[in-house]
Amino acid sequence: MKRLVLILLIAALAPMCCMAAAMHIYRGNSTYTSDILYTWDGRYLYRGNSTYTSDVLCTYDGRYVYDGRSTYSSDILLTYDGKRVYEGRSTYTSDILYTWDGRYLYRGNSTYTSDILCTITNGHLYRGRSTYTSDILLTYTAPIPLPILLPILLLATL
């Protein structure tokens, strides 16, 4: 009897554990629905407030960022090793696009203050080394992997 109750309890709770809420990335310091730029579900980055497959911009598997919904090696846009972001599938020093130290994102393989592109902290992505409210480029509601923030950062600064 206890075993049956345990199985029923696990069966009842399993769907709740597996359902991940979509996280939003907003323009500037906003959290208004009208300012949602992207939606992140833990695997796919979507355009706007959408989770339609036709709106997938990229896929992330924990190491690679792929173009669209693809997971083919020929569609790898970025490689992430936890500290550096490389172009494509490469891990050569010459292909380092960005270096991450947990707070600052640097240009290339640098960790010089003059090469800081942005500051990422407390649910905000700031321009340069700033943490002023007026320098917030993006706001997000839950942790977003750095490789997913990069394409968004690039689009936001164009």
Confidence category of residue 8, pLDDT binned at 50, 70, 90: very low
CATH number of the domain bearing residue 122: 2.40.160
Domain that holds residue 62: 21-157
Tell me how far apart the alpha carbons of residues 60 and 114 are, in angstroms, rounded to a whole number.
30
Structural domains in the chain (count) = 1
Q: Is residue 1 part of a domain?
A: no
Residues 6 or more apart whose CB falls under 8 angstroms from that of 104 comprise 116, 118, 119, 120, 129
Its pTM stands at 0.82
Q: Is residue 108 part of a domain?
A: yes
Q: Is residue 14 part of a domain?
A: no
Whole-number pLDDT of residue 6: 32
Q: Is residue 6 part of a domain?
A: no
Whole-number pLDDT of residue 156: 60
Q: Is residue 3 part of a domain?
A: no
pLDDT at 86 over 60: yes
Q: Is residue 110 part of a domain?
A: yes
Contact 38, 137 (CB under 8 A): no
Over the chain, what is the mean pLDDT?
Answer: 85
Tens of pLDDT, residues 9-57? 333 333 333 345 789 999 999 999 999 999 999 999 999 999 999 999 9
Task: Return left, alpha or beta for 110; rule: phi > 0 is left, psi -120 to 50 is alpha, else beta.
Answer: beta
Q: Is residue 133 part of a domain?
A: yes
Q: Is residue 15 part of a domain?
A: no
Contact 98, 82 (CB under 8 A): no
Contact 57, 70 (CB under 8 A): no
Give the count of beta carbons closer than 10 Å to the beta carbon of residue 62.
9
